[in-house]
Amino acid sequence: MRDYQLRCISCGKSYLEKSDLYWCHDCGPLKGTLEIIYDFNQINISKNFSKKGDITQFEDLLPVKFQTNLDQQVGGTPFIKFNHQFGVRELMIKFDGVSLSGSYKDRASIIAINKALQYGKEAIFCASTGNAASSLAILSAHTALKTYIFVPSSIPSAKLAQLHAAGAEVIAIQGSYDEAFDLSMEIGLKKGWYCRNSAINPYLLEGKKTGAYEIIIQNDYVAPDFCFVGVGDGTIISSICKGFMEFKQLGLIDKIPKVIGVQAEGAATLKKVYDSGKPYEPIFETVSTVADSISVGNPRDVIKACTYMEKINGEFLTVSDDEIIHSIQSLTSETGVFSEPAGAVGYAALQKMKNDGRISHEDTVCLFVTGNGLKDIKSAESMIKRQNFSKEEARKYLEGV
């Protein structure tokens, strides 16, 4: 664990760590999300991280001391490389769908859980219908923490199943996801439970930045030219930017990749804010896309995401639902990586930039695939053409192949 301060992304005010400090008191929870700031001047980090190492190898660059049974099961996810294929010099895939709960969110949940234990909390909570919830439930299962997950009661049974199996207390309420979120904040904070709501908790981003660290390490400390990341709330993209910036500051890479934040056309709120320029202001929209995990109309890390992306000259792109669904199939059939819709958006955006001539055979490209296709089988199902051969028909059909 490294010493750190917390700093408001909007007004720059600094705070010292406190167990119930989540946002800047002057700027409020949406504009006043906090950054974790370290003094990296005093430290010397050399290039000898392990390519298959888990998240605990980064403890010296994180605001937490690891102490659970599952710490060593987070991070160290596959990094798969294809050379001179797909119209680029190198295509790299960072696949976090193969993690304990099946998504990138494990990197954040493990930090929140360790913080809750450090603060002596008895319980931890979040509002989520998806990956954040299942990740928190799975990783906290073995700890002494009681886990509360607030969801709208319309949540599909398949998503509930993993939460229930993990022994989380699921509070299903009549109302929307936003109402579940607000109720979780009202009750959770009053009860003194630890909050693992995305963007509200400033430590989550610190766990997520380790994905950026890992691709640099797994690529022998060479930064790819381009990185593609799906964007909903804005926390993962912020974390990827921060990870690269920190490794640059530490002298571990020479350049920062061109980061492309990819949103669904029907849920492009963050892109809209970024493209209209400073000052970045949170907005709320009604959105719709098949890519469940990035279907966000009120992105809660909007200011951080825009600020970081501006710093590193990043860019946002959109892709259509059709392109997303098609990409699940192309990505899986060409690389063996089976992704949930939100994880396949990067592949769709890569095709777009190749077609536009903005990415060439000379470029190296990394896709962050953040969730497992088994988590959301609906979109993949929509592509199935069912057959029902008799044996004779099958014989005949296969004669011709």
CA distance 91 to 199: 30
Query: Whose Cβ is closer to a copy of itself: residue 29's or residue 53's?
Result: 53
Are 208 and 229 in contact by the 8 Å Cβ rule? The answer is: no
Query: Whose Cβ is closer to a copy of itself: residue 45's or residue 141's?
Result: 141
Least distance from a copy of itself to the Cβ atom of residue 211, Å = 16
What sign does the CA torsion over 321, 319, 101, 201 have? negative
Least distance from a copy of itself to the Cβ atom of residue 197, Å = 16
Least distance from a copy of itself to the Cβ atom of residue 223, Å = 22
CA distance 241 to 167: 35
Query: Whose Cβ is closer to a copy of itself: residue 274's or residue 347's?
Result: 347
The HSE-up count of residue 147 (CA atoms within 13 Å, CB side) is 30
Query: Whose Cβ is closer to a copy of itself: residue 203's or residue 338's?
Result: 338
Query: Whose Cβ is closer to a copy of itself: residue 103's or residue 238's?
Result: 103
Query: Whose Cβ is closer to a copy of itself: residue 153's or residue 249's?
Result: 153
Residue keyed to tokens 């057959």: 387
CA distance 124 to 73: 20
Least distance from a copy of itself to the Cβ atom of residue 262, Å = 19
Least distance from a copy of itself to the Cβ atom of residue 126, Å = 14
**Coil, strand or helix: which one is 264?**
strand
Least distance from a copy of itself to the Cβ atom of residue 91, Å = 11
Whether the link from the prior residue into 279 is cis, omega within 30° of 0, is yes
Amino acid symbol at 38? Y
Burial class (CB in 10 A: 0-12, 13-18, 19+), 79: middle
Are 211 and 239 in contact by the 8 Å Cβ rule? The answer is: yes
Residue 243: closest CA among 383, 70, 113, 58: 58
Least distance from a copy of itself to the Cβ atom of residue 81, Å = 8
Token pair listed for 106: 């494990």
Least distance from a copy of itself to the Cβ atom of residue 253, Å = 23
CA distance 120 to 129: 27
Query: Whose Cβ is closer to a copy of itself: residue 207's or residue 234's?
Result: 207
Query: Whose Cβ is closer to a copy of itself: residue 5's or residue 73's?
Result: 73
Q: Would you tell me how many other CB atoms lie within 10 Å of the CB of residue 57?
A: 19
Q: Would you tell me how many other CB atoms lie within 10 Å of the CB of residue 47?
A: 12
Which helix (H) or strand (E) is 111 found in, with range?
Answer: helix 106-118
Least distance from a copy of itself to the Cβ atom of residue 20, Å = 18
**Coil, strand or helix: which one is 260?**
strand
Query: Whose Cβ is closer to a copy of itself: residue 12's or residue 167's?
Result: 167
